[in-house]
């Protein structure tokens, strides 16, 4: 036993050295981690846990959910969480706005255009996804974060609109309500990994009905998946909490296509019908699939009063039953006197989960409304707009199948080129460097050995990390926000947030820990942000540094050159040097990473050691940091990739 412990201690030291080596390689040599999707994107390519929760009258048991035979969390339809909840629904009426009568956009639907088109060598975004729609999708993501707030292990607060428990309505809810968006209560599932599993509220369904001048209606349905929720009371300040364990559970898992409602016709090459997916995200989806199904059924049948295609088509002629494409869409919409558009979205982890959900959503709603001949590549009913999404597809075949179900031109990611989250888990680039692969394998052996003897949060996290897999696929279409503009907005929004926060503190509206000390630190932060935004030289210098970093990275990946390996390391180091200067100029890693992941300061409630509610400021997803111009972002991405392709060759 003593020998065993001695060995483990030695391995622990070695483990730290491996971690240092790994971090050094990634941050100081291999700058590609900070450039999402390079080399993999081509934009022109066609324990049992029980809890009692406020607002619930019944006890929710989840000890039946984990199915070890399939290695997936799944709830049967008969045991859906919805059946265990006594929900008190809020009766809401949609608010008519000028946008609700925009006939140009509604009539555009009859053309069944995809989200992205290639016109004269240029990508053109559907006019349906205009500034207002981009705002709606951004605020849906903000609302997904605000629907539930975890104060402690056993205590949640909820948006009043949904739960009516704490007397507060999120700003995102107010914004959406003012535009006629009717939101439903969150669907319920699980998140976590291994022994840490917790109840979760991972997203929600919303809709808007707009009247057309011809007496028909147009229905927009929004399905939003929430991103990570780490809280200060959790291990490692949230990194050891269930939500982040879901992110780190990045081994690959195979799910049968039927679990995602993907039928045989979508498997182009036939044969194996299992899909390779991010294990944490796939398990999370399987845990809420039944509840999401219940929400969608209730929306379609009871709130929108839409019967299934089987009922609708009983009196159809054989000719009508064989219609496809635009003819099918026109016939069904005329019969229903209603047209439809569905949006699937999510930010960060939510974007990764949404990439799994979208195939299920597409076939579920599409076949319910339009029948067995429904093909989203032709009808373009479902659009996927993922904001700074993590990766979820485990191999190229899985990506191809998703693109066959949803349509390669009906999904797009929106980020900045400096957002590290969008290239995690790692893609194919890691395979080009054997040193990284070897480090991962050595680390896996060491950590798995240590985990057999010791057990704590650090070891559990390390085990998840080193047992993760790489070669994850990413989206084909991307749109890029300007990284410097985003940073400027981040600083400006933070200054406003700090001013409002200090005003509330002095007015006694909120309570903070050690008020004098905390306010002083906030004023120092404010000064830092103002110094950056008020100095025009910072903007031009930062733009130049980012440009240099990108160009050096491109040079590092040039093909058919002498001393390729040496040149790659040289240019990668030069790229990293420029990048480090840019990060330092922006205010440090925390500022740079948070801004590029579309975060900004917002109030965060938590329970102190005495059980009292306190508030602080933290960086969370902020819809107002976005430009809401997806077309411009797509053009920026086109220019980026055109330059990359020119310099790499």
Collapsing DSSP to helix, strand or coil, 150 comes out as strand
Q: How many Cα atoms within 13 Å fall on the side-chain side of residue 476?
A: 23
What is the distance between the terminal CA atoms of the chain, rounded to a whole angstrom?
58
On the question of pLDDT at 610 being above 80, the answer is no
Sign of the alpha-carbon torsion through 274, 280, 281, 285: positive
Residue 89 has pLDDT above 50, yes or no: no
pLDDT band at 111 (very low <50, low <70, confident <90, very high): low
Going by C-beta distance under 8 Å and a sequence separation of 6 or more, which residues neighbour residue 157?
Answer: 54, 148, 149, 151, 165, 166, 168, 605
The string of pLDDT tens digits covering residues 383-438 is: 999 999 999 999 999 999 999 999 999 999 999 999 989 987 765 555 555 666 66
Please give the pLDDT value at position 194: 76
pLDDT band at 20 (very low <50, low <70, confident <90, very high): very low
How does pLDDT run across 436-453, given as a tens digit for each residue?
Answer: 666 666 766 776 677 666
pLDDT of residue 498: 96
22 or 175, which is more confident?
175
* Cα angle: 331, vertex 324, 102; to 5 degrees: 50
Mean pLDDT confidence for 128-151: 91
Rounded Cα distance between 295 and 312, Å, is 21
User: Which pLDDT score is estimated for 605?
Assistant: 80
pLDDT at 297 over 60: yes
Residues of the chain above pLDDT 90, percent: 48
Helix, strand, coil fractions of the chain, as percent rounded to 5:
50, 15, 30
**Distinct helix (H) and strand (E) counts, the chain:** 21, 20
Q: Name the pTM for this structure.
A: 0.82
> What pLDDT, on the 0 to 100 scale, is given for residue 452?
65
Residue corresponding to tokens 């109030």: 603
The per-residue pLDDT for 248 is 87
**Residue 320 backbone class (left: φ over 0; alpha: ψ -120 to 50; beta: rest):** alpha
Which secondary structure element, helix H or strand E, spans residue 72, and what is its range? Answer: strand 72-73
pLDDT tens for residues 356-380?
999 999 999 999 999 999 999 999 9
Reported as a pLDDT band with limits 50, 70 and 90, residue 147 is: confident
Distance of alpha carbon 472 from its chain centroid, rounded? 15
Asked if omega into 425 is within 30° of 0 (cis), the reply is: yes
- Sorting pLDDT into bands at 50, 70 and 90, what band is 287? very high
- Report whether pLDDT(284) > 50: yes
Given a cut of 80, is residue 594 above it in pLDDT? yes
Query: What pLDDT is stored for residue 561 in this prediction?
Result: 61
- Kindly list the distances between the CA atom of residue 127 and the CA atoms of 113, 133, 178, in Å, as whole numbers in the listed order: 10, 9, 22
- 505-528 pLDDT, tens digit per residue, is 999 888 888 889 999 999 999 999
């Amino acid at each position: 036993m003593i020998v065993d412990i001695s060995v483990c201690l030695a391995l622990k030291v070695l483990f730290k050295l491996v971690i240092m080596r790994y971090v050094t390689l990634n941050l100081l040599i291999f700058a590609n981690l900070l450039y999402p999707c390079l080399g993999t994107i081509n934009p022109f390519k066609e324990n049992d846990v029980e809890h009692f929760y406020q607002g619930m009258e019944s006890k929710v048991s989840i000890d039946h959910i984990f199915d070890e035979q399939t290695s997936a969390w799944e709830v049967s339809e008969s045991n859906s969480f919805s059946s265990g909840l006594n929900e008190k629904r809020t009766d809401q009426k949609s608010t008519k706005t000028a946008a609700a009568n925009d006939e140009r956009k509604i009539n555009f639907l009859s053309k069944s255009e995809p989200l992205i088109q290639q016109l004269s060598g240029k990508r053109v975004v559907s006019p349906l996804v205009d500034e207002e729609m981009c705002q709606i999708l951004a605020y849906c993501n903000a609302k997904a974060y605000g629907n539930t707030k975890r104060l402690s292990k056993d205590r949640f607060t909820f948006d009043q609109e949904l739960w009516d428990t704490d007397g507060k309505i999120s700003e995102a809810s107010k914004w959406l309500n003012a535009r006629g968006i009717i939101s439903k209560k969150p669907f319920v599932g699980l998140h976590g990994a291994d022994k840490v599993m917790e109840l979760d509220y991972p997203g929600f369904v919303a809709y808007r009905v707009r009247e057309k001048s011809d007496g028909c209606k147009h229905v927009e349905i929004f399905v939003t998946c929430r991103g990570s929720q780490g809280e200060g009371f959790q291990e490692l300040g949230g990194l050891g909490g269930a939500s982040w364990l879901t992110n780190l559970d990045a081994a690959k898992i195979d799910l049968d296509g039927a679990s995602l409602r993907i039928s045989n016709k979508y498997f182009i090459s036939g044969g194996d019908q299992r899909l390779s997916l991010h294990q944490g995200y796939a398990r999370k989806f399987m845990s809420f699939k039944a509840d999401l199904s219940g929400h969608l059924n209730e929306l379609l049948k009871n709130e929108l009063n839409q019967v299934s295609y089987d009922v609708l088509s009983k009196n159809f002629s054989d000719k009508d039953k064989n219609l496809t494409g635009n003819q099918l869409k026109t016939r069904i919409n005329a019969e229903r006197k209603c047209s439809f558009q569905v949006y699937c979205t999510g930010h960060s982890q939510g974007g990764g989960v949404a990439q799994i959900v979208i195939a299920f959503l597409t076939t579920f709603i599409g076949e319910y409304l339009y029948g067995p001949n429904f093909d989203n590549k032709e009808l373009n009913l479902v659009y996927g707009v993922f904001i700074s999404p993590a990766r979820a597809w485990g191999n190229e075949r899985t990506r191809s199948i998703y693109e066959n179900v949803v349509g390669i031109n009906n999904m797009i990611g929106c980020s900045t080129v400096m957002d590290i989250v969008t290239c995690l888990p790692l893609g194919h680039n890691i395979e080009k460097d054997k040193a990284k692969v070897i480090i991962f394998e050595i680390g896996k052996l060491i950590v798995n050995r240590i985990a057999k003897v010791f057990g704590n949060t650090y070891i559990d996290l390390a085990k998840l990390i080193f047992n993760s897999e790489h070669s994850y696929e990413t989206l084909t279409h991307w749109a890029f926000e300007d990284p410097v503009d985003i940073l400027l907005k981040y600083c400006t929004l933070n200054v406003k947030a700090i001013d409002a926060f200090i005003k509330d503190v002095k007015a006694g509206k909120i309570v903070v820990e050690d008020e004098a000390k905390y306010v002083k630190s906030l004023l120092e932060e404010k000064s830092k942000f103002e110094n950056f935004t008020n100095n025009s030289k910072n903007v031009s210098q930062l733009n130049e540094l980012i440009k240099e970093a990108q160009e050096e990275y491109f040079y590092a990946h040039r093909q058919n050159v002498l001393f390729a390996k040496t040149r790659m390391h040289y240019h990668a180091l030069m790229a990293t040097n420029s990048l480090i200067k840019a990060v330092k100029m922006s205010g440090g890693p925390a500022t740079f990473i948070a801004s590029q992941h579309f975060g900004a300061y917002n109030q965060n409630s938590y329970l102190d050691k005495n059980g009292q509610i306190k508030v602080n400021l933290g960086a969370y997803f902020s819809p107002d940091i976005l430009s809401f111009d997806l077309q411009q972002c797509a053009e920026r991405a086109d220019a980026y990739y055109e330059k990359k392709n020119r310099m790499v060759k």
